[in-house]
Amino acid sequence: MANILELVNISKSFDNELILDELNLEIRENTFMTLLGPSGCGKTTTLRIIGGFTRQDSGQVLFQGKDITELPPNKRQFNTVFQKYALFPHMNVGENIAYGLKISGKSKSYIDSKIEYALKLVNMDGYRNRAVSALSGGQQQRIAIARAIVNEPKVLLLDEPLGALDLKLRQELQYELIRLKNELGITFIYVTHDQEEALTMSDTVVVMNQGYIQQMGSPENIYNEPENAFVATFIGDSNIIDSLMLRDRLVQICGTAFPCVDEGFGINRPVDVVIRPEDVILDEPGRGQLDGVVTHLVFQGVHYEMEVMAGGFEWLVQSTQIQPVGKEVSLRVDPENIQIMSKPASEDEEAMVIDA
């Protein structure tokens, strides 16, 4: 698969504040790529630079190998689904969908059939003559998607399109977007701050913070093997513990040596350890690797969430088996569920804040 889009050394600042710093990103054809990060991380700016709405200070945007930096948005073969729908209030549903086709001078019969096709695709059959203001938020977003895809863009840009909708509708539309992507066979670039959304929908997730790409990979890869503390905290819940790498395949966590599968960190090196709460197994005292006491307990539907004080650290644990508060337990973690990460190299990286 070839790269359809490439961002080369893109930098951008607003009011002397650096938003993107020499960003490089390659986007393969026909993928569902998500830019994920807290607000202010530069993900929307990246999308707007691709769409042509914001101009980068330096660097290039390459589309199929050609530099399109100078191309205004109306000349780019992309279409955008905006966060707040941005439907034209003075046009009805059909006129909104037809707008791009009329601009490009398509015939009336072609436009007619395209409108019907698009309405069917987003499950809005029969809404053609409705006023935009008469639609619910979810319906408006479906129309916004229809309006974008009738133009057969090579790339569809989606800027937090589900952000304004309630949870149930959001989940419903997530599945529809995946279906649409598969039916249309085009590239989707999706911006969100919702990690669950990113993990559910994407082929590739790009985690961003403070204008840098923190990690890029498949959802499984991002979730199971976070490369740094930021990614680990931002994606799902996790225990991040200051630890000491004793030698290859052995790490000292909270004063206790745990076997693990990582190699090559050296001997007696400080590291961060990430352990997902569902990977901590609770057992009778003395039967695990580290003893402790349950301090909090919350029922969360699919599982119980507990906090266990053990070895001077408050462990977050998820389990389907209840352990009441005050009960003495023992923790155990399988070696392959211990993820070792190098300590951040500089103060600057340490300062990464999560505000989402």
> Which residue number, 157 or 333, has a Cβ lying nearer to other proteins?
157
Q: Is 86 in the site for other proteins (CB under 8 A)?
A: yes
Q: What is the largest CA-CA distance in the chain?
A: 77
43 counts as binding other proteins under rule CB under 8 A: yes
Q: Which of 26, 71, 84, 295 binds other proteins (CB under 8 A)?
A: 84
Cα 189 to Cα 35: distance, rounded to the nearest angstrom: 7
Q: What is residue 345's DSSP assignment?
A: S
Q: Is 137 in the site for other proteins (CB under 8 A)?
A: no
- In the list 65, 72, 259, 266, the residue contacting other proteins (rule: CB under 8 A) is 72
69 counts as binding other proteins under rule CB under 8 A: no
Q: Is residue 107 at the binding interface for other proteins, with CB under 8 A as the rule?
A: no
Q: With binding defined as CB under 8 A, does residue 11 bind other proteins?
A: no
Segment near other proteins (CB under 8 A); pick from 37-45, 114-122, 319-327, 331-339 = 37-45
Q: If binding is defined by CB under 8 A, does position 19 make contact with other proteins?
A: yes
Minimum distance from residue 124 beta carbon to other proteins (Å) = 18
The string of DSSP codes covering 74-119 is: GGSSEEEE-TT----TTSBHHHHHHHHHHHTT--HHHHHHHHHHHH
Task: Indicate whether 134 belongs to the interface with other proteins (CB under 8 A).
Answer: no
What is the C-alpha to C-alpha distance for residues 198 and 184, in angstroms, rounded to an integer?
20
Among 73, 217, 311, 344, binds other proteins (CB under 8 A): 73
Q: Around Cβ 328, how many Cβ atoms within 10 Å? A: 14
Answer yes or no whether residue 14 interacts with other proteins by CB under 8 A. Answer: yes
Q: Which of 7, 33, 41, 198 binds other proteins (CB under 8 A)?
A: 41
Contacts of residue 318, defined as CB under 8 A and 6 or more positions apart, other chains included, come to 237, 277, 278, 280, 300, 303, 304, 305, 306
Q: Which of 34, 56, 79, 239 binds other proteins (CB under 8 A)?
A: 79
Q: Distance from first CA to last CA of the chain, Å, rounded? A: 34
Q: Which is nearer to other proteins, 89 or 301 (CB)?
A: 89
- The span of 3-11, 83-91, 231-239, 261-269 binding other proteins (CB under 8 A) equals 83-91
- Would you count residue 40 as binding other proteins (CB under 8 A)? yes
Residue 146 CB-density burial (10 A; 0-12 exposed, 13-18 middle, 19+ buried): buried
> Does 147 help bind other proteins (rule: CB under 8 A)?
yes
Give the count of residues interacting with other proteins (CB under 8 A): 40
Residue 151, interface with other proteins (CB under 8 A)? yes
What are the angstrom distances between the C-alpha of 344 and each of 23, 230, 257, 283, 347? 20, 10, 22, 33, 8
**Conformation bin of residue 76: beta by default, left when phi > 0, alpha when psi is -120 to 50:** beta
Q: Which residues contact other proteins by CB under 8 A?
A: 14-15, 17, 19, 37-45, 51-53, 72-75, 78-80, 82-84, 86-90, 99-100, 103-104, 147-148, 151, 191, 193
